[in-house]
Amino acid sequence: MDSTRQDRIAEIALRVARLFEELKTRGIREQNDLWFLHSKSAKHQSDLATQQFAKILSDIKELNPTNLSERLITSQIVYGAIAIALWYTKEAETILSDTQERIERLAAYSASRSVDIPIENLDVGGSPFRIGPVTFLPFTDTDKGSKWWQSISAYVPHNADFHVVSFARVEASGDPDTAVGSAIKATEKALVILRAIGFPFSTVPVPQLGILTDHPLSPGRPLRLGDPVENVRIEGHTDNLTLLGPPTAPYRVQEDLLSNMAPDTLSELLEFLSLDFEGTSSGLKSKFITGLLWLGRATFPDTPEASIAKIAFSLESLIGGDPNDEYLASKGLTAALAERSAFIAGSGLPERTQLHRGVTDLYRLRSDIVHGRATKIGERDLPLYGELVRSIAWSLLPRLHEIATLEQLQKWVQDTRYS
């Protein structure tokens, strides 16, 4: 360990020792009285001791951010070092050295583990399916004989075998809290991208897929009806009524979600995601990931107006420019997006004209929604515009190898237009 890092650890340990002295002066001895140090309430956060610990917590996490959770640090420092020293006089004599050793171990800590997350209504068939760092696997008979399956079944009202047929596995680093948090985050992102690839855009309720408990598997709504006031009795009266949601069934990955995508395009997309799942690249690659996420979010249960807005956000994320861009300022956002879409996804005048018109119509509808103008979104509008943006995304994908920035994209469009 380099001397600068060692000095940093020693300085943090000294602050922990000072915090211990402050707590001792207050007469605190029981570990149950220390919880205020990590309380999130405004009342406790104004306490000087709480503020001191918050800074200690932040500085220790900074020493090893990818492996340490706040829970582990709090457990080691508050309930490991401070609580014991408050209770045992002998331990109080070595609080500084004990704390320094604990912080050194935390700073050096490294771990990795697999995290398995049950998924509802996703059937991967007999073969694993991978998006970025997330591998979707089918449940085996061994899995179903485990205590894990017993826990899963407790969250499924009926037919767990039918609804929960796959799980996501992520290799994650860090302590259990850090590993689980990053694994869930990666799985949520992978599922949104999977939705962007092939989930239906619909104004009516459809079965959902996601991490178990994300969406209700029994969407019925039990209602109570009052006595009717009718001019003519047509049918019998009941005071209990249950509105049923759509029948739920697992989506088959290959047949239901991926079949409408050309195999070469799918392979290229999965390879791209394996290299750039986190979206850490700059330029169009980063924008492409953001665009996919907005497109996936447009398939979640929401109002038709909100879904249309998300579809528009997706297109803007994919190929939109900065409002300060000189070209955009002179041409306008809708015209620029329509032109770029036409040349990216269209191969001839009729197709480009159709794409230009489609994007223009999408943004006219978006404008009506944003500005509160009366508008009705037809049942065909969501799938129409959702598939439009999908086609633009898949046409943009192979160009990401040669066009890295928005400026290069605009130059390419201009060169293509005048060639």
Dist CA 320 CA 173 (whole Å): 35
DSSP state of 96: H
DSSP state of 226: P
Dist CA 206 CA 221 (whole Å): 16
DSSP state of 232: S
| DSSP character string of 265-301 | HHHHHHHHHHHHTT--S-HHHHHHHHHHHHHHHTTSS
- What pLDDT, on a 0 to 100 scale, did the predictor assign at position 323? 45
Dist CA 40 CA 20 (whole Å): 20
List Cα–Cα distances, 303 to 34, 164, 238, 245, 306, in angstroms: 46, 27, 30, 16, 5
Residue count (the chain): 419
The alpha-carbon radius of gyration of the chain (Å, integer) is 28
DSSP bridge partners of 251:
122
Per-residue pLDDT of the chain (419 residues; tens, 9 = 90+): 688 999 999 999 999 999 999 999 999 999 899 999 999 998 889 999 999 999 999 999 999 999 999 999 999 999 999 999 999 888 889 999 999 999 999 999 999 999 999 999 999 998 999 999 999 999 999 999 999 999 999 999 788 999 999 999 999 999 999 999 999 999 999 999 999 999 999 988 899 999 999 998 877 888 989 988 988 888 888 888 888 887 778 999 999 999 999 999 999 999 999 999 987 787 899 999 999 999 999 999 999 999 999 999 999 999 998 645 555 554 688 999 999 999 999 999 999 999 999 999 999 999 999 888 868 888 899 999 999 999 999 999 999 999 999 889 988 998 888 87
The distance from CA 188 to its chain's CA centroid, rounded to whole angstroms, is 4
Dist CA 168 CA 130 (whole Å): 9
- What pLDDT, on a 0 to 100 scale, did the predictor assign at position 325? 55
Q: What's the pTM?
A: 0.90
- What pLDDT, on a 0 to 100 scale, did the predictor assign at position 237? 83
Dist CA 36 CA 7 (whole Å): 29
DSSP bridge partners of 112:
173
- What pLDDT, on a 0 to 100 scale, did the predictor assign at position 180? 97
- What pLDDT, on a 0 to 100 scale, did the predictor assign at position 329? 52
Dist CA 123 CA 136 (whole Å): 9
- What pLDDT, on a 0 to 100 scale, did the predictor assign at position 327? 55
Q: Are 283 and 405 in contact (CB under 8 A)?
A: yes
Dist CA 16 CA 82 (whole Å): 8
Dist CA 182 CA 66 (whole Å): 10
